[in-house]
């Protein structure tokens, strides 16, 4: 359940087309996703039929050009879709987010014409993408990679291990980063396109997570994985550039996810406050509860301004790295705060799995961690402010 929180301000007002798109995705989420949220969370697995539905609605090819079978939409459209889905289930939104803001955008920008012809139509219609950068010793220090790539007469040979890879169970195409020249430091990092059934490439153990449990997060194993030369994405040694620029965009996507999560939590809290009665009246009639809901709504509106502004800047070709970092930092804080207050509005019922509050609370925590921790966002913001 969601509710209207605000009267749109100029910066958050949507065009008629954007409003229709958002409403369509939200309706899909409420009708097709909501009935399965609890079961998917318990099973720690997305419903395959639901993934097919995402493709059929065009949500896996939002920015893919029409000539390649996509919708030809904007980055802002992708953010709206992530936001709408997250109001119902942030775990499903992860699939859409990583696929669109990381994988598709990386291919649109750095793939060759042949790679685009081969992969973009599939990514728009029937194959999910995953983005494999992180390793056991390479989290915030993203370029301390141990995975190695060796040039061969036929192409490349990869060895190593990746951790915490979202979409790993569902994906058919992976962007994998490995070091081609260790002596070159981060300038040796190179990106490769790997199909799931490639010999020597294995999707390993799935993490047992606190939140977004239906979203798969797995290790990847590279054991003498042989790749043809055309598997290279971009130029040798330019993987660091692909990673940095793609993650800058992805942070706006996480901001949209956290915004939607907060909206969903607020909607459930507002409805429950009107239904729950104590001392002979609905708890929504108590000033303390009213003030709690008002503060939550204010935080959400501020997060919305940041998310929409950053996405608009990106689409306009304007500098947005600082704004993207601010967006992820603040929206993740708002999501955790609002989800926590939602639990408190529900009282004892907020602490049990029969009600949705506890899941929003569990799902919110990862917003401060993945695609750059809050401390990394603060470092980025400070760098851009202070030069």
Active site residues: 371
Helix (H) / strand (E) element for 158: namely strand 155-166
Helix (H) / strand (E) element for 174: namely strand 171-179
Angle at CA of residue 33, ends 30 and 36, nearest 5°: 125
Phi–psi pair at 278, nearest 5 degrees: -145, 145
Q: Which two tokens stand for residue 44?
A: 């720690």
Helix (H) / strand (E) element for 193: namely strand 189-195
Taking each helix axis from N to C end, the angle separating 90-97 and 357-364, rounded to the nearest 10 degrees, works out to: 40
In Å, the largest CA–CA distance within the chain is 80
- 3-state secondary structure string across 101-115: HHHHHHHHHHCCHHH
Give the C-alpha separation, 11 to 312, whole Å. Answer: 10
Phi–psi pair at 45, nearest 5 degrees: -160, 140
Residues sharing a CB contact under 8 Å with residue 364, sequence separation 6 or more, in sequence order: 90, 211, 258, 261, 262, 265, 332, 335, 336, 338, 339, 340
Q: Which residues pair with 155 in a beta bridge?
A: 228
Q: Is the separation of the CB atoms in 98 and 129 below 8 Å? A: yes
Which pairs with CB-CB distance under 8 Å and at least 24 residues apart come from 137-142?
139/164, 139/373, 140/372, 140/373, 140/375, 140/376, 142/243, 142/247
Give the C-alpha separation, 168 to 238, whole Å. Answer: 24
Give the C-alpha separation, 171 to 194, whole Å. Answer: 10
Q: Is the separation of the CB atoms in 132 and 145 below 8 Å? A: no
């Amino acid at each position: 359940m969601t509710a209207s929180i605000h009267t749109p301000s100029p910066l958050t007002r949507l065009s008629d087309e954007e409003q229709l798109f958002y409403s369509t995705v939200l309706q899909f989420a409420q009708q097709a996703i909501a009935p399965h949220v609890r079961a998917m969370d318990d099973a720690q697995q997305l419903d395959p039929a639901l993934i097919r539905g995402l493709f059929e609605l065009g949500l896996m090819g939002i920015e893919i050009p029409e000539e390649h079978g996509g919708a030809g939409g904007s980055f802002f459209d992708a953010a709206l879709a992530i936001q709408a889905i997250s109001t119902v289930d942030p775990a499903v939104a992860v699939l859409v987010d990583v696929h669109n803001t990381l994988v598709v955008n990386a291919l649109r920008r750095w793939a060759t014409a042949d790679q685009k012809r081969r992969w973009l139509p599939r990514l728009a219609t029937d194959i999910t993408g995953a983005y494999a950068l992180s390793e056991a010793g390479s989290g915030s220090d993203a370029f301390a990679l141990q995975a190695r790539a060796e040039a061969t007469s036929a192409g490349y040979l990869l060895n190593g291990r990746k951790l915490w890879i979202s979409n790993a169970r569902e994906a058919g195409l992976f962007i994998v980063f490995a070091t081609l020249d260790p002596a070159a430091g981060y300038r040796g990092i190179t990106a490769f396109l790997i199909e799931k059934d490639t010999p020597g490439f294995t999707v390993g153990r799935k993490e047992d997570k606190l939140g977004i449990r239906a979203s798969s997060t797995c290790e990847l194993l590279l054991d003498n994985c042989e790749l043809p030369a055309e598997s290279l994405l971009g130029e040798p040694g330019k993987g660091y550039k692909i990673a940095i620029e793609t993650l800058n965009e992805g942070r706006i996507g996480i901001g949209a996810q956290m915004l939607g999560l907060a909206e969903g939590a607020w909607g459930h809290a507002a409805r429950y406050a009107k239904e729950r009665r104590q001392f002979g009246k609905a708890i929504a009639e108590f000033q303390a509860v009213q003030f709690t809901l008002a503060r939550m709504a204010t935080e959400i509106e501020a997060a919305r301004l940041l998310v929409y502004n950053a996405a608009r800047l990106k689409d306009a070709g304007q500098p947005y790295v600082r704004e993207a970092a601010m967006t992820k930092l603040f929206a993740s804080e708002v999501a955790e705060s609002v989800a926590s207050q939602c639990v408190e509005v529900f009282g004892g019922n907020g602490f049990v799995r029969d009600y949705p509050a506890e899941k929003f609370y569990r799902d919110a925590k990862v917003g401060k961690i993945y695609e750059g921790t809050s401390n990394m966002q603060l470092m980025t913001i400070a760098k851009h402010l202070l030069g």
